[in-house]
Amino acid sequence: MRDFLKRLPKAELHLHIEGSLEPELMFALARRNGVELPYDSVEAVRAAYDFQDLSSFLELYYQGMSVLKRSEDFHDLAMDYFRRAHAEGVVHVEMHFDPQAHLARGIELEVVMEGLSLAQREAERELGMSTALIMAFLRDRPADEAMRVLESAAPYWEMLDAVGLDSAERGHPPSKFVEVFQRAKMLGIPRVAHAGEEGPPEYIREALDLLDVCRIDHGVRCLEDPALVTRLRDEGVVLTVCPLSNVRLKVVERIEDHPLPQLLEAGLRITLNSDDPAYFGGGMLDNFMACHDAFGWSKETFVQLAGTAIESAFMSDKRRLELH
């Protein structure tokens, strides 16, 4: 089955590129940039990845990215991930990035965009992969800051496939970002949002009604609201589910308890994704394999899941035809 799942052409719709920073590269970049890390070995970094919830993860996630200083660091980060993903049979990657987390450290948007866009072109040329870029706003920071970031990104609007919403969910409902997302819509930029990972089903409704998103990132808590499940099914809303992430952040206790089978049973459009592969114990293939081991799904189920991702990806029709 591992061989089959590896060969299956997979599109990844939910990945934080800063969360793909493996400890080995973290140390190499720390050395290159003269950044002090609070760990003395790669093993010590991995040992620290024992999370209680989303917030305890985010603390280390924001600390880890302190080694990213120059555009070549962002380039190396993304290429490192694209190469690993390519080796696992991933043909298309949509990467979230967090400009505010970098701006807060004095790293300009231009530095981030230059590095990531160079890596995107290189992945296409050298690996035959397609990629997309999702600029995410940090929901635990003020909405007017997000608006300023969106405006200051004017030179790069054309390069953005979507805007997103991430970081600590509880207490930061989508409604806080209505104006920002309205502005993005006016600019013709598609929208996605994390909702229903730790937050209640109401946040999923808000993301749909107030932010007009075309996909929900995570969304697993929709099952607490049967009317919402019916709506998601009727409207064909895609959920970008991240099984290993949900285990590591204790959204579910064990992979066997994950509601993926119920979500599929309910007729929802589901995709499998890695979220922050360097922190959550594996990339796309590991997430697919974990589902295979836990749920015993057939090849047809995995073909369906991979197909849904390609159908709902930000890619040209030409590329979609190539992959389908």
Q: How far is the CB of 21 from ligand HPA (least distance, A)?
A: 11
Minimum Å distance from CB 143 to ligand HPA?
17
Residue 54 touches ligand HPA, criterion: CB under 6 A: yes
Instruction: Provide, rounded to whole angstroms, the least separation between the CB of residue 141 and Zn ion.
Output: 16
275 binds Zn ion (CB under 5 A): yes
Return the exposure string of 237-259: e unless at least 16 CB atoms fall within 10 Å of the residue's CB, then b. bbbbbbbbbbbbbebeeebeebb
Partner from Zn ion, ligand HPA, none binding residue 73, C-beta < 5-8 Å depending on class: none
Q: Taking the complex as a whole, how short is the minimal distance between the CB of residue 167 and ligand HPA, in angstroms?
A: 5
In the numeric block, which tokens belong to residue 88? 């696992």
| 61 interface partner picked from Zn ion, ligand HPA, none, CB below 5 to 8 A per type | ligand HPA
Q: Which of 309, 323, 236 is nearest to 274 (CA)?
A: 309
Candidate residues 22, 73, 76, 197; the one interacting with ligand HPA per rule CB under 6 A: 197
Which one, 37 or 220, has the nearer CB to Zn ion? 220
Complex with ligand HPA: residue 10 or 172, whichever CB lies closer: 172
CB-nearer residue toward ligand HPA: 165 or 184: 165
Binding residue count for ligand HPA, defined by CB under 6 A: 11
String of contacts with ligand HPA for each residue 254-273, x by CB under 6 A:
--------------------
- The residue from 12, 166, 206, 286 that contacts ligand HPA (CB under 6 A) is 166
Which of the choices Zn ion, ligand HPA, none does residue 219 contact, using the CB cut-off of 5 to 8 A by kind? none
Q: What's the CA angle centered on 141, arms 137 and 144, to 5 degrees?
A: 80
Q: Which of 71, 117, 120, 245 binds ligand HPA (CB under 6 A)?
A: 245
Which partner from the list ligand HPA, Zn ion, none does 150 bind, CB cut-off 5 to 8 Å by kind? none
Q: Which does 54 bind (CB under 5 to 8 A by kind): Zn ion, ligand HPA, none?
A: ligand HPA
Min separation Cβ 213 and ligand HPA, Å: 15
> Which sequence positions are flagged as catalytic?
197
Residues that bind ligand HPA (CB under 6 A): 16, 19, 54, 61, 166-167, 194, 197, 245, 275-276
